[in-house]
Chains A and B, each alone.
Chain A
Amino acid sequence: MKEQALDAFTASELAVTFIEVAKGVTRGVESVEVFTLLTERCVKLLPVEAAGILLKDVTGTLQVIGSSSPSAHLLDLFQVQNEEGPCLECTQTGLRVIDTELSATGKWPKFSSLARNENYQAVYALPLNSRGVAIGALNLFAVQNLDEATLDIAQSFADTATLSLLQADILTDEQIVLRKIHIAVESRNTVEQAQGMIAERFAISPDVALEKIQAAAKESHVTLLEAAIAIVQRDSASAVSSLLEKK
């Protein structure tokens, strides 16, 4: 059984894992590969026996995208969680769910019974959160309880999975990239138009005008682009417009 302390070997292996994921993502490797790598490393580096990463599809169904082992028993454990289990709860709440009892009379009797049959003593579900929304979870199965430091490392695997997913989507979907670039250009144009308006209004240079807009945006708690749109559209209801009125 592996020690829970983060020894030099584990630290070095963690670094190697994150470098591998980064390389894979920038090469456009599919999420399934990245997730499989992450779950395999969970089992190698953490005191857990099995791991899986599940994502909610458009219908809200949990789908296993990567797992440390394709064994049927593990898939059953994942599958049943579309009805009950820590993973289901985790993706509903976006919060970490820990069950170290797996009681037959607990919250998820069917799932607990299956897990016990496989000799697991504890199950952990760590959220894959994107902008406050749970898009999936990392499920860990162990024969011993995990301490807080280990769970923090496990959460970093979940966070890496989320980042790799978002990045992989951007890299593999040229249309999204094009749209983002197009929107970025339009946004820049809007800021420049606002710069021109403020430069003319206060007889200042465009650079100083930009600083003025940035300050007004900060004071009004809006983004630079939102401030620029308010200026260009002469939105009198906007706090930015009142701040940049000529006295």
Chain B
Amino acid sequence: MSNRHEYIVSRIRDIQSPNTPAEKICQVAAEVLQCDIVSICLTIASSYSPVATTNTLGTYLDEEQFVLGDGPTFASQFSSTPIHVENFQSKKSADLYPAFAKVALKHNVISSHAFQLTIGSAQIGALTLYWKHPVSLNADYYADSLILATLATAELVRLQAGIDDDSVNEMFEMQQLRKSVLQIAAGMTAEKLNCNVIEALVRIRAYAFSEDLPVTEVAKRIVNRKISIEK
């Protein structure tokens, strides 16, 4: 774990509030990146669902992008790298996002950086950062954003698995998400159930929770063909 990763995780753990883990991620993102609004949304198969935000305006801004079909969060679904808008007032941004740039400016939002939440080539959602002033992400902010996006990805898989335990420990267990064995197990399950890999990961996660096993243990058993997830 890098020092920054450790710091961010400790900040999330330290929040003493009834907030959900996703809300805590947003809260810490706003703090470490000094941004005005942070939001996390689910974007499976191009359909949008809000998950958490630091301000209801965040949900509105995310949602508008899916209604209008433009904006950095919307565009992040089709990109392999984060989408950066340093200034919605620039001609470049107005040309790229003609409809959403107007909406953002109307609400005094000047800058937005959207990080797609993916596992391999499969997308599950987006973490969007909004500022009321122009922002160019420096290397430190970029690194922190990637850490927060990784945590948010794990949290979305957990939520999709229907796990109602909101303890942050659950969330951190999902940091195993990038492990090779889990990816291979997800591929095997996706093939068997004829579903996408995100759904397969969600099912593996739900199975691990119901059997009270670590998710990597379930993955190992799937790869060794000791168990298989049934429909």
Contact = CB atoms under 8 A, between A and B. Distances in A.
Interface string B74-105: 00000011000000000000000000000000
B183 A196 contact: yes
Interface string A178-214: 1100110111111111111111110000100000000
A243 to B, nearest CB: 16
A233 interface: yes
A200 B192 contact: yes
A197 B189 CA distance: 8
Could you say which interface size class chain A belongs to?
A: 20 to 34
Contacts of A175: 137-139, 142
Contacts of A186: 80, 118-121
B163 interface: no
Interface in B118-133: 118-122
Interface in A152-180: 173-175, 178-179
Given A186-B118, A190-B120, A199 B187 contact: yes
Nearest to B194: A234
B183 A193 contact: yes
Contact of B178 (A185, A191, A233): A185
Nearest to B187: A196
B114 interface: no
B81 A194 contact: no
Contact of B187 (A179, A183, A188, A195): A195
Nearest to B193: A200
Interface of B: 80-81, 118-122, 137-139, 142-143, 146, 178, 180, 183-192, 197, 223
Interface of A: 173-175, 178-179, 182-183, 185-201, 206, 228-229, 232-233
Given A193-B122, A197-B191, 7 more contacts: A186-B80, A192-B187, A193-B120, A194-B187, A198-B191, A206-B184, A228-B121
